[in-house]
Amino acid sequence: MTVKIWEVQTLKCLAPLQGHNFEVKSVSYSRNGKYVASAALKDKKVKIWDVQASKCLTTLEGHVGDVMAVSYSRDGNRIASGGTDKTVRIWDAQSFKLLATLDHHDTVESVSFSWDGKYVTSGSADSDVKV
- Where in the chain are the domains? 2-130
For residue 89, the model assigns a pLDDT of 97
For residue 20, the model assigns a pLDDT of 67
Mean per-residue pLDDT for 45-50? 92
For residue 18, the model assigns a pLDDT of 72
- The DSSP letter of residue 44 is -
For residue 87, the model assigns a pLDDT of 96
For residue 3, the model assigns a pLDDT of 72
Asked if 63 and 42 touch (Cβ cutoff 8 Å), the reply is no
CA distance linking residue 104 with residue 122, whole number of Å? 9
**To the nearest whole percent, how much of the chain has pLDDT over 90?**
59
Amino acid present at 13 = C
**What is the tens place of the pLDDT at every residue in 83-124?**
999 999 999 999 999 999 999 999 999 999 999 989 999 999
CATH superfamily, domain at 2-130? YVTN repeat-like/Quinoprotein amine dehydrogenase (2.130.10.10)
Res. 130: pLDDT tops 80: yes
Distances (CA, A) of 87 to 28, 49, 105: 18, 23, 9
**To the nearest whole percent, how much of the chain has pLDDT over 70?**
93
Nearest CA-CA partner of 126 in 86, 81, 89: 86
For residue 4, the model assigns a pLDDT of 65
For residue 78, the model assigns a pLDDT of 96
